[in-house]
Structure 1
Amino acid sequence: MGVDSTMGVEISNYYLYEPSHAAPAVFSALIGISLILHLYQNFRYKFWRVTFFMVWGGLVFLIGWIARTVSSYHTGNLNLYIVQTIFIYAGPPIYSAAAYNIVGRLMNYLPMHTPLNPNRVLILFVYLGALVEGLTAAGGAKISAANGRFDVMESGGTLMSVALLLQAVVETILVSMVGLIHYRCANGGAPVPPNVRRLCITLYGTSTLVIVRCICRAVESFTLYKAIAKCEGGSCSSAIRNDFVLTHEWYIFVFEAVPMVLFTFWLNLLHPAQCLPRVKTRYLDLDGKTERMGPGWIDRRSQWKTFADPLDLSGVLKGKPNNETFWVQPEKWPLAEDGSFAAGTATNVGGRRARLPSKSTPDTLSESV
């Protein structure tokens, strides 16, 4: 991060090093390629409702790295420096929102193994993500435009640190939720379907990348905060320019760019639309093979109770959740007509349907898939 150690003096370089020209250009290209692939797959699978944030996050992240590439040639341009700082910081929280959507769809696909209302959990994660995004943008703007005002830099660093730690906590909760669903599925009496196993492993990996990124960026933010606290006589030169983390550019490439590039390419190679149905009311039957068109998650409580306790934590803690267990009566719900994602016979690609027997009872269909 660039730091202005004096007020009223024109700065020729807002970075604490001579920034690379090639590295941000390479990352811009990689992020751009991944963004194009996500656009293609969203059109191909018609999975916009779930993975739209991969496109939005990719666009924001791409703008950040393009701005950094341009800024590396104009190190004294404050506006470019502010743009690259804010957009690079803002991209990853938006990427994470896509993971929240994926987990929400997984919970709807496996309602019998879901401890909480999938739709309310998704809303909670999205709001927390929006909070992270807001804190990130505010903190980045403060630090980038501090112009030597150390109190402003301190407040900006605090906001950034809080945002990074909050995102790490949210990702940890997300991984724990996926782990619990995976565990319940493995102990549900039927083998874990390949599509569920594949998706869980993907979510473990992508969330771990985000957590690593958040922790390392938080270290950078706290390092800056400590360096600013050591400033004496209105100058931060000796305190900041001798700090290893702040004065080496590779840190941002290794712990910001690389994890998030891996994150977005991982979700391209193992796209969730290959594992989950487009319609969220479609769920996996208890046999671990058949898929049915259910009613979706139904909360039996009154409106004021759902408002007071949206996640039904009181029911969960008592061991008696207040939701309809529609999956225990599979005969009431029609079979999915285009195969099964669990058996690898269904697809979200438009115009394609799996070839299954035209007339099948639930028993014979379970055997056929």
Structure 2
Amino acid sequence: MADTLPPGAIHPPPYGVVFGPRANCTLDICPVEISVYGYRPSLAANISFIALYTVAAVVHLYLGFRWRYWWYTGCMLIGAINAIIGYIGRVLMYYNPFNFAAFMIQIICVTTGPVYYCAAIYITLALSINHLSPSISRFQPRLFYYIFIPFDIISLIFQGAGGGLSTTSAGSSKVGVDLALTGLALQVFMLLLFCGLFADYLLRYFRQSKSSSSTIIPSAVDPTRLRLFFGFMSLAILLTLARCTYRLVELNQGYTAGSLVRDEGLFIGLEGVMVLVAVYCLMVGHPGLVFKRDQQKDRASGISQQELQEYNNLK
């Protein structure tokens, strides 16, 4: 950490450990400039994120009970809870920027949240294609289950392993940074591929709906709501892609030594706000708001007939 000190900065005392599992610095004995971020995370911003993610979790839970899309609700809730825990870690770092446990909590939880939102988006589009017009799709909907979600899990493993190696080595492990970079690069690549497939389907779908004498939009689906649904889902995807690209560039400079790591404004705007807005977009992009489903449950299994039909279609 000494190499990253700005000119004129106060050095820690000889017994002070700035970063890592054995860190013993506090604001009483070490200047904030030599902490891993070089600043005290904004208390107001992080409490606001905690409150807004709590609201998002409550709304998504309500929509889950309202529309019975439990897989979607589960992904959104896990992502929101992850974010809440992560921003609690940043609140703890406000009181002690040298708190290594809090640093690990926020690195793991804030970073992994978008993986769950992407899983929700992938499954939603697969079901949308089956519900609307599977015949015009260039690819089978099961592609999102068998390719995109496994690659998301692989990306998560790489990022987690890289983060663990890098942080436990006080940022000195190049292997850790390389692993995390590989995971993030894979996530960005898969998101770009998904954007291309998603855009292709939307263009073909709406082009055919305009040119066909009989609309291909099912009568149960309101065209205006359908456009809102796809519009907000598209916005959520683009925001998530922008956030992942930012984290890729940031990590390219390392976990502890880069200038982007020490820019809280960029973190709040490109990590915090981007992902939070995407989560709220996915309220409008909720499949239950567009696709009507049979709420009658099979008494033995508790599964709706629509869920069974959607599952069988994906086989």
TM-score range, shorter chain: 0.7 to 0.9
Provide the residue aligned with 1:140 in structure 2.
163
Structure 1's 245 and 298: CA in aligned 2 closer, same or farther, altered over 3 A? closer
Of residues 84, 90, 105, the one that matches 1:83 is 105
Taking the aligned partners of 1:183 and 1:281, their CA distance within structure 2 comes to: 30
Matched, 1:163 2:183: yes
Maintained 8 Å contact 1:281/1:296: no
Q: What displacement does 1:8 show?
A: 8.4
RMSD over equivalenced CA pairs, Å: 2.8
Amino acid of the structure 1 residue aligned with 2:104: I
Alignment of 1:38-117 (within 5 A): 38-109=60-131, 110-117=133-140
Taking the aligned partners of 1:111 and 1:30, their CA distance within structure 2 comes to: 37
Taking the aligned partners of 2:47 and 2:188, their CA distance within structure 1 comes to: 28
Q: Give 3-state SS (helix, strand or coil) of 1:247's partner.
A: coil
Provide the residue aligned with 2:150 in structure 1.
127
Q: Give 3-state SS (helix, strand or coil) of 2:78's partner.
A: helix
Provide the residue aligned with 2:200 in structure 1.
180
Structure 1's 195 and 112: CA in aligned 2 closer, same or farther, altered over 3 A? farther
More helix by share: 2
Maintained 8 Å contact 2:127/2:310: no
Taking the aligned partners of 2:99 and 2:234, their CA distance within structure 1 comes to: 40
Taking the aligned partners of 2:98 and 2:37, their CA distance within structure 1 comes to: 9
Taking the aligned partners of 1:277 and 1:177, their CA distance within structure 2 comes to: 25
Structure 1, unaligned stretches of length 5 or more? 229-239, 284-292, 300-369
Maintained 8 Å contact 1:195/1:276: no
Maintained 8 Å contact 2:141/2:314: no
Provide the residue aligned with 1:10 in structure 2.
17
Matched, 1:258 2:278: no
Taking the aligned partners of 1:135 and 1:92, their CA distance within structure 2 comes to: 15
Structure 2, unaligned stretches of length 5 or more? 5-13, 19-24, 26-34, 218-222, 295-303
Amino acid of the structure 2 residue aligned with 1:104: A
Q: What displacement does 1:80 show?
A: 1.4
Provide the residue aligned with 1:209 in structure 2.
239
Maintained 8 Å contact 2:86/2:108: yes
Amino acid of the structure 1 residue aligned with 2:204: R
Q: Give 3-state SS (helix, strand or coil) of 1:224's partner.
A: coil
Structure 1's 85 and 298: CA in aligned 2 closer, same or farther, altered over 3 A? closer
1:125-173 CA-partner distances (Å, limit 9, x unpaired): 111111121122122222222226x2x1x22222222222221221222
Q: Give 3-state SS (helix, strand or coil) of 2:263's partner.
A: coil
Q: Give 3-state SS (helix, strand or coil) of 2:202's partner.
A: helix
1:223-280 CA-partner distances (Å, limit 9, x unpaired): 237xx8xxxxxxxxxxx4xx54232211211111111100111112442211124479
Taking the aligned partners of 2:314 and 2:253, their CA distance within structure 1 comes to: 48
Q: Give 3-state SS (helix, strand or coil) of 2:288's partner.
A: helix
Structure 1's 155 and 5: CA in aligned 2 closer, same or farther, altered over 3 A? farther
Amino acid of the structure 1 residue aligned with 2:279: T
Taking the aligned partners of 2:202 and 2:129, their CA distance within structure 1 comes to: 10
Maintained 8 Å contact 1:85/1:144: no
Matched, 1:246 2:261: yes
Q: Give 3-state SS (helix, strand or coil) of 1:156's partner.
A: helix
Runs of 4+ in 1 over 3 A off after TM superposition: 3-9, 191-196, 277-283, 293-299
Q: Give 3-state SS (helix, strand or coil) of 2:192's partner.
A: helix
Provide the residue aligned with 1:358 in structure 2.
none
Taking the aligned partners of 1:87 and 1:8, their CA distance within structure 2 comes to: 31
Return the index of the structure with the highest Cα Rg: 1
Taking the aligned partners of 2:314 and 2:262, their CA distance within structure 1 comes to: 54
Taking the aligned partners of 1:294 and 1:223, their CA distance within structure 2 comes to: 44
Amino acid of the structure 1 residue aligned with 2:199: G
1:340-363 CA-partner distances (Å, limit 9, x unpaired): xxxxxxxxxxxxxxxxxxxxxxxx
Structure 1's 10 and 37: CA in aligned 2 closer, same or farther, altered over 3 A? same
Maintained 8 Å contact 1:213/1:259: yes
1:92-125 CA-partner distances (Å, limit 9, x unpaired): 1111111111111112112122222212432311
Matched, 1:194 2:224: yes
1:44-90 CA-partner distances (Å, limit 9, x unpaired): 11111234211111111111111111122122221111111111111
The percentage of aligned residue pairs carrying the same residue is: 23
Q: What displacement does 1:195 show?
A: 4.0
Alignment of 1:233-312 (within 5 A): 240=257, 244-278=259-293, 296-297=312-313
Taking the aligned partners of 2:203 and 2:305, their CA distance within structure 1 comes to: 22
Amino acid of the structure 2 residue aligned with 1:261: L
Taking the aligned partners of 1:123 and 1:255, their CA distance within structure 2 comes to: 30
Amino acid of the structure 2 residue aligned with 1:263: A
